[in-house]
Amino acid sequence: MAAKRDVRLTVNGVAYEASVEPRMTLVDMLRGELGLTGTHVGCEHGVCGACTVLMDGRAVRSCIMLAVQADGAEFMTVEGLASEAGELHPIQQAFIEERGLQCGFCTPGFMMTIHELLQETPDPTEEEIKDALGGAICRCTGYESILKSVRSAAKKLQALG
Amino acid sequence: MAFEFPKSLDDLPVSKVKWVGKPVNRVEDPQLVTGKTEFIDNVTLPGMLHCAILHSPHAHARIKSIDMSRAAALPGVVTTLTGEDAERWTRPMYTTPQGWGGYVLATDRVRFVGEPVAAVAATSRYIAEDALELIDVEYEPIDPIVDAFAAAQPDSPKVFEDHDDNIMYQRIFTWGEVEEAFQKADHVYKESFRWNRVGANPLETFGIISEWDIVEDSLTCRGSFQTPSFMAMGRAATFRLPSNKVRFIAQPHGGSFGGKGGGRGTDITLMLSRKAGGRPVKWIEDRMEYLSSGGSQAWDRHYDVSIAVKDDGTVTALRVKLLDDMGATAEGFGATGAVKPMASFTGCYAIPAAEYDLTLVATNKLPVSPYRGMGPPPHNFVLEQMMDIAARDLDLDPAEIRRRNFIPADQFPYIIASGNEYDSGEYEAALDKVLEMAGYEDLRREQEEARAEGRLVGIGVVSTIEPGVFDWNAYTVIGTAGIGIPEGVTVAIDTMGKITARVGFALEGQGQYTVITQLLAEYFGTELEDVRVVHVDNLSAPPNFGPGGSRLGVAITGAVLGAAQRLTEKLTKVAAKMFEVQPEDIELLDGMLRVKKVPESQLSVRNVAAIMLNRSDMLPPDVDPSPQATFAWTAPDRVEPDEQGRVKSYLTAANACHLVMVEIDPGTGKVEILKYYIADDCGTRLNPANVEGMIQGALAQGVGAALLEEYVYDDDGQLLTASFMDYLLPTIHEVPFPEKAALVTPSPFTPLGAKGAGESAIHTTPAAIMCAINDALLPLGVRAKEVPASPNRLWKLIQGASDQ
């Protein structure tokens, strides 16, 4: 076992410091060390996208990143979507209204990917949505309702300006 | 007393239906979208250890020795486990058919790649996995038995030495005058087909935390159980413990589709906990473990099929010979998937005679598990190819030959040749709806134009049955016991008028808690927010099974309505005393208990419940102060099968008709889905958005099965598809978004007329896509007979055609 290393990072606006083995994955740190269990692990080899979080605004797969690589970075996870008072984010509202989920296990990863998409492309075309989501797997919905959720979320966010 | 269930939404005790049948938002979702839902891997208990399991790298080998000493000495490793512990503490695994399994950890030999051999419990998963590398196992490899046909030969080497051969089960079922029908037929068509292994792959794998109380000898397991009570019974049997000392708490889980697995992981963690003095032991199956050793694989089939047909296209008999490769053991209930096609053997057709020649064979591969649909999807694939083969030869349109063979709408309830009873259906109406939506004649013209340009464009049109509401009696022929499968609920109203429903199954994705909420809010005239559904453990819940066999929506509706009716009887007696009338003079309407014909004499349900709880002085003598009721529902009118396995098994028969247009790229063999249309009839839709979601989801799984997904073993029994890089799940790019229509032919046999829903598309989609592919290949004179129709397979077929 290699010596532990200190990692400092910010998640959803909160600063954390933890001492971790160099081999620890980012998702294990988020879930196990920081208690942020909303990010889920679906495949642990970077294919399914369930573990997607935003690192400095970019979607990354936290199962194939090491915690030590996250030192100094700013993260957003599913726990950071709703307001502190519990008001749901437009993406979350859209998923509920458009039935963008069934079992809900892949959903946090999808929502973070969509958050990145809509930041960069507020009014995406169907092809842009599909390209953005092409690396994420949902086994329940058959994706149609997720596509609708993205469209609805885009409208909601645009209305908010 | 006999219960009269409301037959339709109009029979509910409300003047206007407000919730049931409406696409209301799901009560499950706010927790899920915020990441708050307690999936098993989110649960941490004090003192908890982490398990890692060592799996066999060999498909077939003798275990000469296992040395755990180096692993046990690693700091952080608390205890270790091998097959010796399993032999000491457990019975061999229960299997169906019986007698085809071993212990949960291999003892003298391993029989498939991925079979658990040893396990450790350590203070972290990282340390536990380090320890696996320090386990020294000496194997003596044996030639693996991988090919199903070779395995079925009498002189084949054997998977289990104590059996005479590898045949787990063999039987020919004959229904009606099959031989005579074939002799008299104007035409007989024969073909062979291959369906390769596919499987469930929920996004969350199996996970569990087990605790063995070494003082009480009682067990507590928290985990992602699809059927917690059923698994608890299995543990009591495995460990020879009193069943009331086995407590199972199902966590919400990330899908299952029948293939969650988990039996071995449960028993392994329990034994580790026992050896660790009762500390909780967690095991989260990783994806590669799931793919190679979990509940991941189903339906590994070789078919020979023939049909007898008259000149006018009427099919008079169907013969299906199936060699089904079960893998190494019969531990996963996968064998039931070979029997279920008997519930819809002849599909939507009035085929009077049929024969099922069924062989289940053991090989050195992962034992198969259930998967959504439970077996008919491959059966429907072969049946529907035969219908198209007949249509082509007789120069009939594929839609027309199906129309000519449909069970007519006026003949329901209809008993099919294999014995099951279909409750109701409008198959021709569904077909017509799809043809109209698609603009079928124009599509065929479009296809002709494309063909004229040399493009490979084809259309498939297929109707299927989704047998709904499974009953154990369907599986008697392979050794399961019992008739009926109760699903219960306890409904309680508290002093504030809030309603709680307690059930024995956890969230899985189908939205059942929402349906329960709709039903209770409707029945007692409340808002949705006034109802809460909670899961309780197997020792606290009424009899239950959970989701499975396309059954829970109907069963829980029966349970909820039964409990609501029982509760209303209590409330009615209290209200009658308050108004000084007889109970039969009281009725429930819109949440009020009122004196019939005197609507101003009324009390709210909430008030009556509060009186029951807080004013014993006002209670009638025969009413206890408990505004609660429990009811468990099971399908009515079920019996044992006859000597040919014929039985009314699945209570409902939903119907779907799919039309798909595809194009094959001759240069690559890749299939593109150009158009897709669905008409789906699952009776009354309790929450139409739930149903629509499951149709689309099952469609995606059907696309995967038809075009992408396949577990591949090499000749040494090594799994070549042990990651998502190799086992290809459909993404948003591959799944079409069909135009969908809903038809509603209520079931006459179920509460509110609902039918089992949620599987229909996986029954239909693979068959429809394969029909379209073969339609596209028609000008080349070749036929795709193997699923999935992956690009390499189709490319080779097309190359073969141009070589001729």
Residues B688 and B800 in one domain: yes
Residues A72 and A107 in one domain: no
Mutation for testing the B interface, residue in A140, A141, A151, A152 having most B CBs under 10 Å: A140
Give the pLDDT band (50/70/90) at residue A128.
very high
DSSP string, B577-638: HHHTS-GGGEEEETTEEEETTEEEEEEEHHHHHHHHHH-GGGS-TT--S--EEEEEE--SS-
Contact B287 A102 (CB under 8 A): no
The token pair that represents A159 in the structure block:
């209305």
Closest CB to B287: pick one of A43, A96, A141.
Answer: A43
Tell me the residue range of the domain where A131 lies.
90-160
Contacts of B41 in chain A (CB under 8 A): 31, 37, 40-41
Contacts of B25 in chain A (CB under 8 A): 96-97
Predicted local distance difference test score (pLDDT) of residue B803? 65
Residue B793 lies in a domain: yes
B-contacting residues in A 1-60 (Cβ below 8 Å): 1, 21, 23-24, 31, 36-45, 47-48, 50
Predicted local distance difference test score (pLDDT) of residue A150? 98
Which CATH number does the domain housing residue A40 bear? 3.10.20.30
Instruction: Write down how long chain A is.
Output: 161
Closest CB to B35: pick one of A24, A38, A129.
Answer: A38
Predicted local distance difference test score (pLDDT) of residue B111? 98
Query: Is this complex's ipTM strictly greater than 0.95?
Result: yes
Residues A103 and A153 in one domain: yes
Residue B41 lies in a domain: no
For residue B94, what is the DSSP state?
P
What's the rounded Cα separation, in Å, for the pair B520 and B19? 9
Contacts of B30 in chain A (CB under 8 A): 88, 96
Q: Could you write out the three-class secondary structure of B670-720?
A: CEEEEEEEEEEECECCCCHHHHHHHHHHHHHHHHHHHHHCCCCECCCCCEC
Instruction: Write down how long chain B is.
Output: 804
> Using CB atoms within 10 A of its CB, is residue B741 exposed (0-12), middle (13-18) or buried (19+)?
middle
pLDDT digits 0-9 by tens, B704-742: 999 999 999 999 999 999 999 999 999 999 999 999 999
Closest CB to A105: pick one of B39, B693, B731.
Answer: B39
B-contacting residues in A 58-97 (Cβ below 8 Å): 77-79, 81-82, 88, 92, 95-97
Contact A139 B697 (CB under 8 A): yes
Contact B731 A78 (CB under 8 A): no
Contact A21 B126 (CB under 8 A): yes
* A80, A109, A140 - which closes a domain: A80
What one-letter code names the amino acid at A66?
A: L
Contact B735 A142 (CB under 8 A): yes
Contacts of A152 in chain B (CB under 8 A): none
* A80, A112, A129 - which closes a domain: A80
Task: Provide the number of CB pairs (under 8 Å) joining chain A to chain B.
Answer: 166
* B601, B633, B665 - which closes a domain: B633
- B728 phi and psi angles, rounded to 5 deg: -95, 110
Residues A76 and A94 in one domain: no
Contact A139 B733 (CB under 8 A): no
Grouping H, G, I as helix, E, B as strand and the rest as coil, residue B372 is: coil
DSSP string, A13-31: TEEEEEEE-TT-BHHHIII
Contacts of B699 in chain A (CB under 8 A): 142
Q: Is there a cis peptide before residue B766, judged by omega within 30 degrees of 0?
A: no
Residues B466 and B519 in one domain: no
Distance from CA of B498 to the nearest CA of A (A): 23
Grouping H, G, I as helix, E, B as strand and the rest as coil, residue B756 is: coil
Which CATH number does the domain housing residue A127 bear? 1.10.150.120
Residues B432 and B532 in one domain: no
Residue B716 lies in a domain: yes
Among candidate residues A44, A96, A40, the one with its CA nearest the CA of residue B27: A96
Closest CB to B42: pick one of A37, A134, A135.
Answer: A37
Residues A110 and A72 in one domain: no
Contact B202 A105 (CB under 8 A): yes
Contacts of B39 in chain A (CB under 8 A): 37, 40, 105
> Is the pLDDT confidence value at A161 over 90?
no
Distance from CA of A140 to the nearest CA of B (A): 5
Contact B697 A130 (CB under 8 A): no
* B605, B633, B661 - which closes a domain: B633
For residue B570, what is the DSSP state?
H
What's the rounded Cα separation, in Å, for the pair B603 and B327? 62
Which CATH number does the domain housing residue B790 bear? 3.30.365.10
Contacts of A75 in chain B (CB under 8 A): none
> Using CB atoms within 10 A of its CB, is residue A72 exposed (0-12), middle (13-18) or buried (19+)?
exposed
Contacts of A107 in chain B (CB under 8 A): 32-33
Predicted local distance difference test score (pLDDT) of residue B4? 87
Contact A99 B34 (CB under 8 A): no
Q: Nearest-5° angle of CA B288, CA B290, CA B296?
A: 125
Residue B541 lies in a domain: yes
Residues B553 and B626 in one domain: yes
Closest CB to A82: pick one of B34, B202, B508.
Answer: B34
Residue B133 lies in a domain: no
Residues A57 and A115 in one domain: no
What's the rounded Cα separation, in Å, for the pair B560 and B490? 8
Contact B507 A103 (CB under 8 A): yes
Residue B758 lies in a domain: yes
Instruction: Locate the chain B residue with the closest alpha carbon to A82.
Output: B34
B59 touches B718 (CB < 8 A): yes
Residues B664 and B796 in one domain: yes
What's the rounded Cα separation, in Å, for the pair B355 and B593? 56
The token pair that represents A39 in the structure block:
């990010």
Distance from CA of A24 to the nearest CA of B (A): 8
Residue B409 lies in a domain: no
Q: How many domains does chain B have?
A: 2
Indicate the helix (H) or strand (E) that contains B793.
Answer: helix B791-803
Residue B545 lies in a domain: yes
Contacts of A106 in chain B (CB under 8 A): 203, 254
Residues A94 and A126 in one domain: yes
Instruction: Show the DSSP H helices in B286-394 as ranges.
Output: 287-293, 336-339, 376-394
Residue that has been written with the tokens 């092809």 in this structure: A127
Contact A139 B287 (CB under 8 A): no
Closest CB to A105: pick one of B25, B204, B288.
Answer: B204
Q: How many domains does chain A have?
A: 2
Instruction: Locate the chain B residue with the closest alpha carbon to A145.
Output: B693
Contact B509 A104 (CB under 8 A): yes
What's the rounded Cα separation, in Å, for the pair B556 and B553? 6
Residues A46 and A95 in one domain: no
Residues A72 and A128 in one domain: no
Residues A10 and A43 in one domain: yes
Residues B661 and B698 in one domain: yes
B713 touches B146 (CB < 8 A): yes
Tell me the residue range of the domain where B620 lies.
9-34+486-633
Residues A73 and A140 in one domain: no
Instruction: Locate the chain B residue with the closest alpha carbon to A106.
Output: B203
* B570, B602, B633 - which closes a domain: B633
Residue A85 lies in a domain: no
What's the rounded Cα separation, in Å, for the pair B137 and A133? 44
Distance from CA of B724 to the nearest CA of A (A): 6
Predicted local distance difference test score (pLDDT) of residue B1? 44
Residues B625 and B658 in one domain: no
Distance from CA of A72 to the nearest CA of B (A): 24
Query: In which order are the strands placed within the sheet that holds B49-55?
Result: B77-82, B116-122, B49-55, B281-284, B207-213, B218-223, B246-250
Residues B581 and B707 in one domain: no
Closest CB to B731: pick one of A77, A99, A134.
Answer: A134
Residues B460 and B500 in one domain: no
Contact A103 B696 (CB under 8 A): no
Distance from CA of A13 to the nearest CA of B (A): 17
Residues A38 and A69 in one domain: yes
Residues B513 and B426 in one domain: no
Residues A97 and A138 in one domain: yes
Distance from CA of A60 to the nearest CA of B (A): 18
Residue that has been written with the tokens 């979080």 in this structure: A53
Predicted local distance difference test score (pLDDT) of residue B2? 60
Contact B32 A147 (CB under 8 A): no
Contact A107 B32 (CB under 8 A): yes
Residue A128 lies in a domain: yes
Residues B550 and B662 in one domain: no
Residues B490 and B465 in one domain: no
Q: Which residues contact residue A122 at a Cβ distance below 8 angstroms, ignoring those fewer than 6 apart? A: A154, A157, A158
B653 touches B467 (CB < 8 A): yes
Distance from CA of A52 to the nearest CA of B (A): 13
Q: Could you write out the three-class secondary structure of B236-279?
A: HHHHCCCHHHEEEEECCCCCCCCCCCCHHHHHHHHHHHHHCCCC
Residue A34 lies in a domain: yes
Contact B29 A95 (CB under 8 A): yes
Strand segments (E) across B310-405:
315-327, 353-362
Instruction: Locate the chain B residue with the closest alpha carbon to A91.
Output: B33
Mutation for testing the A interface, residue in B732, B740, B762 having most A CBs under 10 Å: B732
Closest CB to B33: pick one of A31, A101, A129.
Answer: A101
What's the rounded Cα separation, in Å, for the pair B480 and A104? 33
* A80, A113, A145 - which closes a domain: A80
Closest CB to B729: pick one of A88, A104, A139.
Answer: A139
Q: Which portions of chain B are predicted below pLDDT 50?
A: 1
Contact B696 A142 (CB under 8 A): yes
Grouping H, G, I as helix, E, B as strand and the rest as coil, residue B16 is: coil
